[in-house]
Amino acid sequence: MWIERRMADRVLAAARQFPALVVTGGRQTGKTTLLRHLYPDASFASLDLPSAAQQADERGEEFLASYREPVILDEVQYAPGLFRHLKVAIDAARSRRGRFLMTGSQKFSLMRALSESLAGRCAVLELDTLSSIEILAAFPGEAIPVEEILWRGGFPELWRDREIETRLYYSSFVATYLERDVRLALRVGSLRDFERFLRACALRSGQLLNLTDLARDVGIAGTTAREWLSVLEASSQVVLLEPYFANLTRRLIKTPKLYIRDSGLLCFLLGLESPGALGSSPLAGPIWETFVLGQILRARATTGSAAQVFFWRDVHGTEVDFLIEQNGRVRLVEAKWTETLGDPRTLKPLFQVRDLLGDKAVAEHWIASRTRHAHSPRNAPGVRLINAASFAGWLDVAS
């Protein structure tokens, strides 16, 4: 079963403009599948294979010559020596586009190699797990409960074959991730401590990052916690959301908030065994907030929007979950695990922040909820409830 990816048009457009293209993102997000679907006649080389990676790294010119262009180079970060040969090949025929189509799962090491060798020659796009819009579009006419979307998560394999045991999939994913990405990046002896660190991060999804507490709970040094967090971020397993800063006199919190990138992985790490368990969990609120941020970030990636996403929190306790800055204006977004607005007094922070920023600066107020239909509640003028699972217009240009 093929699931249409909203990133496809951006991939095709980038390949028409650049000699090389790299699609980054975490493992099993569908990078290779997308490129092979879009370019069925391209030759293919998997550098996941140690022998292929060694040849590409040590004999790059010979390696490239053995493949007909265009060529898909899968997990190219395993052969850092190949990039200088790619530069030479590209410069020999700079006007030819879409020759080298690459994937990579380790952003930090990959971006370092790209900036050193392929600056100006390579487009970079990031592919995340499936958005809720992509999931719903793959099953037209089926009313998929939002709890199932959150609990199952966005990994394409879990939706191509819904008979796969979800928890078995995630346990295998975590084991593979620890063995491949973590051991390669850190060369740690005990992966059990890192897995405990990952689960401790899951318990804090949607909270302000406190490395001291994280390190203490796992029993590691603060410097180790910082290093391990950078690995999670580089391999697209977590997101650090920065606070919003404007030229205001009110002091704001400067610490980022930590989020697990995929809601399904988050539910697995939290030990939720079914969609029903999610609905009754005291952690439903943070999981929903994590999911909403994921949909915003996926919309930004697939549209190519320059919008910036932040959160608002000041030392007086005023907090708004998300602030989307775009074209000089902002949207204020609250994530609420609810189908109705309920007490409008819960929206007080939205209006406080609006007053601080000024009416002209704030484009809209959204409540990202489980409502069945988007609407503006009568008891909350200026606020719009949207269904966060099916709303596609996150980053429509604000007028």
| 314 DSSP 8-state letter | B
Q: How far is CA 309 from the centre of its chain?
A: 13
Judge whether residue 189 has pLDDT over 80: no
* 376 vs 204 pLDDT, higher one: 204
pLDDT in tens, 15-55: 999 999 999 999 899 999 999 999 999 999 999 888 999 99
Q: What is the pLDDT of residue 119?
A: 82
Angle between helices 211-218 and 191-203 (to 10 degrees): 130
Q: What is the pLDDT of residue 251?
A: 66
pTM: 0.92
262 by Cβ neighbours in 10 Å (0-12 / 13-18 / 19+) ranks as buried
User: Per-residue DSSP letters for 322-378?
Assistant: EEEEETTEEEEEEE-S-SS---GGGGHHHHHHHHHH-TTTEEEEEEEE--SS-B--T
Judge whether residue 123 has pLDDT over 90: yes
Q: What is the pLDDT of residue 398?
A: 43
Q: What is the pLDDT of residue 341?
A: 77
CATH for 8-126 (3.40.50.300, 3.30.360.10, 3.90.1150.10, 3.30.1330.40): 3.40.50.300
Tell me phi and psi for residue 269, to 5 degrees: -65, -25
3-state secondary structure of 189: coil
Alpha-carbon distances, residue 159 vs 42, 130, 369 (angstroms):
26, 9, 23
- For the chain, the domains span 8-126, 132-399
Measured CA to CA, the distance from residue 135 to residue 381 in angstroms comes to 32
Judge whether residue 249 has pLDDT over 60: no
| Contact status, residue 101 vs residue 86, Cβ threshold 8 Å | no
What is the average pLDDT score of the chain?
90
| Contact status, residue 310 vs residue 243, Cβ threshold 8 Å | yes
List CB contacts of 198: < 8 A, sequence separation 6 or more.
174, 232, 237, 269
| Contact status, residue 125 vs residue 10, Cβ threshold 8 Å | yes
Give Dmax over CA atoms of the chain in angstroms. Answer: 69
Q: Where are the alpha helices (DSSP H) in the chain?
A: 8-17, 31-38, 50-58, 60-65, 82-92, 107-117, 132-138, 146-152, 156-160, 166-177, 183-186, 191-203, 211-218, 222-234, 263-269, 275-279, 284-303, 348-357
* 273 vs 377 pLDDT, higher one: 273
Average pLDDT over residues 166-170: 96
Average pLDDT over residues 362-375: 89
Measured CA to CA, the distance from residue 201 to residue 218 in angstroms comes to 10
| Contact status, residue 194 vs residue 269, Cβ threshold 8 Å | no
Judge whether residue 134 has pLDDT over 70: yes
Judge whether residue 187 has pLDDT over 80: no
pLDDT in tens, 63-102: 999 999 999 999 998 898 999 999 999 999 989 999 999 9
